[in-house]
Amino acid sequence: MGIGLDDILASHRTRRPVVMGILNVTPDSFSDGGRFLEAAQALEQAQKMAAEGADVIDIGAESTRPGSARISADEQCRRLAEILPPVCRLGVAVSIDTTWAAVARWALDAGAAIINDISAGREDAGMLPLAAERGCPLVLMHMQGQPQTMQQAPQYGDVVAEVRQFLADRLTAAEAAGVERRRCIVDPGLGFGKTQEHNLALLAATSALCGLGVPVLIGASRKRFIGAITGVTEPAGRLAGSLAVACATYLAGASLFRVHDVAPTRQALEVLYQLEMRNTKITKTTKDTK
């Protein structure tokens, strides 16, 4: 059984790492497109991720890889219809990865518990009010441009300052719409309108993003910038690089990790967590004895 939503939302304080397993029910996602279109295959994958220690299963019915075309709300719901409800019965929190309020509402009615919006509530004016109405956790992600064109020529003056300010502004917008700040999670949007250097700068500045006071989600799994660093062209071969990013950003304060490879990520982060808890206990004991 997965941990509760309150535990997920408190992860930046408790330091308990939260692993979010990716389930793409799309024909064209960059790493696993087409593998889980059928309900039986998707449910089997969800069961596997739950058994491997996923705290959240993130289901998306629209690919947002660079160059991807948009998918209507009706088509997203059609793709999800036979998959999302049974996944929600596995006992692990389910997040719906969509920018459309109609899809999010349908998914919440079907048992999903979290909204993961790559547009941070900008694409559909109904998304923030929906999150407020339902009182559900809401992931707000930074993206420059749209998936179809975002990687053509991304530019920033200061990528860390601009992304941090954007996320701060979206937290303010969410609060203005009635979403409690404590129910928000932020995501710097690695690969969403960023060059390799932009991605690395954001990763190096994870602690600055954590200064926003809400949980930070890192979605680096198998992404192209890891391949650019390592020379590994096949996304499935980028596990080691993905683990390096997860571990480095966890140590810098991030607490949620959206990944394709649940078991190795859970194992790596659990070791770091236990070491951090031990170090915290030792530090506290040392202070108490002075």
What whole-number distance in Å separates Cα of residue 3 and Cα of residue 182?
Answer: 17
Going from the C-alpha of 26 to that of each of 29, 30, 39, 74, the distances in angstroms are 6, 10, 12, 14
In single-letter form, the type of residue at position 175 comes to: E
Q: Which residue has the tokens 């547009």?
A: 119
| Active-site residue flag, 223 | yes
Q: Provide φ and ψ at 282, rounded to 5°.
A: -65, -45
Q: What's the token pair of residue 187?
A: 């995501």
In the 8-state DSSP scheme, what is residue 182?
G
Buried b (16+ CB within 10 A) or exposed e, 217-229: bbbbbbbbbbbee
CA distance 163 to 171: 12
- The runs of H, that is alpha helices, within 81-189 are 84-88, 101-109, 127-134, 159-176
C-alpha distances out from residue 65 to 77, 98, 192, 242, Å: 19, 13, 8, 17
Residue with tokens 């629209």: 62
H or E element, residue 78: helix 73-80
Q: What is the rounded CA–CA span in Å between residue 57 and residue 36?
A: 13
Query: What is the number of other CB atoms lying within 10 angstroms of the CB of residue 263?
Result: 16
Q: Which one from 79, 164, 170, 258 is the annotated catalytic residue?
A: 258
Q: Which residue out of 223, 224, 238, 266 is catalytically annotated?
A: 223
Instruction: Indicate if 194 belongs to the active site.
Output: no
The answer to whether residues 56 and 2 touch, using CB atoms and an 8 Å cutoff, is: yes
At which residue do the structure tokens 């909204």 appear? 115
List the catalytic residues. 223, 258
